[in-house]
Amino acid sequence: MAHADADAGDLPPPPAKKKKSPTEEEAEKRRKKLTPGSLMKGLIRSGGGDATPAEGDQVIVHCTTRTIDGIIVNSTRREHGGKGVPLRFVLGKSKMILGFAEGFPTMLMGEIAMVVLRKYLSFSHSIFSQFKMKPQIHYAEEDCPVTAPDGFPKDDELQFEIEMLDFFKAKIVAEDLGVVKKIIDEGKGWETPREPYEVTARITARTGDGKELLPSKEEPYFFTIGKSEVRDMLGDGRLIKRRVVDGKGEFPMDCPLHDSLLRVHYKGMLLDEPKSIFYDTRVDNHGEPLEFCSGEGLVPEGFEMCVRLMLPGEKSIVTCPPDFAYDKFPRLPANVPEGAHVQWEIELLGFEMPKDWTGFTFQEIMDDAEKIKTTGNRLFKEGKFELAKAKYEKVLREYNHVHPQDDDEGKIFANSRSSLHLNVAACYQKMGEYRKSIDTCNKVLEANPVHVKALYRRGMSYMLLGDFDDAKKDFEKMIAVDKSSEPDATAALNKLKQTIQETEKKARKQFKGLFDKKPGEISEVGVGEPEGNKTDTTGSGEAASTADRDTDAKEAIPRADSGLAFEEERPGLLARIWPSASRIFSSLGLNRCTIL
**Same structural domain, 297 and 435:** no
What is the per-residue pLDDT across 440-486, written as a single tens digit (0 to 9) for each? 999 999 999 999 999 999 999 999 999 999 999 999 999 999 999 99
- State the total domains in the chain: 4
370 and 344 housed in the same domain: no
In a domain, 15, yes or no: no
- Same domain assignment for residues 44 and 28: yes
Q: Is 53 exposed, middle or buried (0-12, 13-18, 19+ CB in 10 A)?
A: buried
Query: Is residue 178 domain-shared with residue 43, that is, in the same domain?
Result: yes
> Same domain for 375 and 304?
no
Given a cut of 70, whether residue 8 has pLDDT beyond it is no
502-531 pLDDT, tens digit each: 988 887 876 665 545 555 444 444 444 333
Residue 436 has pLDDT above 60, yes or no: yes
One-letter-per-residue 3-state SS of 170-181: CEECCCCCCCEE
Alpha-carbon distances of 472 from 434, 447, 450, rounded to whole Å: 16, 21, 15
Within a domain: residue 3?
no
The CATH code of the domain that includes 47 is: 3.10.50.40
Cα dihedral 362→363→369→371 (10° resolution): -160
- Please name which of 441, 435, 489, 428 lies closest in space to residue 462, comparing C-alpha atoms: 435
Considering the domain architecture, whether residues 236 and 217 belong to the same structural domain is answered as no
Kindly state whether residue 549 falls inside one of the protein's structural domains.
no
| pLDDT above 90: residue 313 | yes
Is the CB of residue 313 less than 8 Å from the CB of residue 256? Answer: no
Calpha distance 416→366 (Å, rounded): 8
Structure confidence by residue, pLDDT tens digits, 35-45? 776 777 778 88
Is residue 556 domain-resident? no
Same domain, residue pair 175 and 313: no
In a shared domain, residues 295 and 381: no
Q: By mean pLDDT, which of 82-91, 363-372, 438-447, 535-544 is the weakest?
A: 535-544
3-state secondary structure 542-584: HHHHHHHHHHHHHHCCCCCCCCCCCCCCCCCCHHHCCCCCCHH
In this structure, what CATH number is given to the domain that contains residue 439?
1.25.40.10
Mean local confidence (pLDDT), 273-278: 80
Specify whether 375 is located in the same domain as 502: yes
Residue bearing the bigger pLDDT, 232 or 229:
232
Higher-confidence residue of 564 and 199: namely 199
Which residues span the domain enclosing 204?
194-226
The per-residue pLDDT for range 241-254, each reduced to its tens digit, is 989 888 999 888 89
Residue 416 lies in a domain: yes
Most confidently modeled range among 178-187, 245-254, 302-311? 302-311
Looking at per-residue confidence, does 370 or 534 come out higher? 370
**Mean pLDDT for the chain overall:** 78
Whether residue 177 is found in the same domain as residue 44? yes
Q: What are the Cα distances from residue 8, in Å, to 3, 5, 194, 269, 575?
A: 13, 9, 58, 82, 68
Stronger pLDDT, 548 or 281, i.e. the higher one: 281
39 and 174 belong to one structural domain: yes
Domain boundary among 334, 352, 370: 352
| In-domain check, residue 502 | yes
Residue 371 maps to a domain = yes
Residues 430 and 332 occupy one common structural domain: no
In a domain, 584, yes or no: no
Residue range 31-56: mean pLDDT, rounded? 81
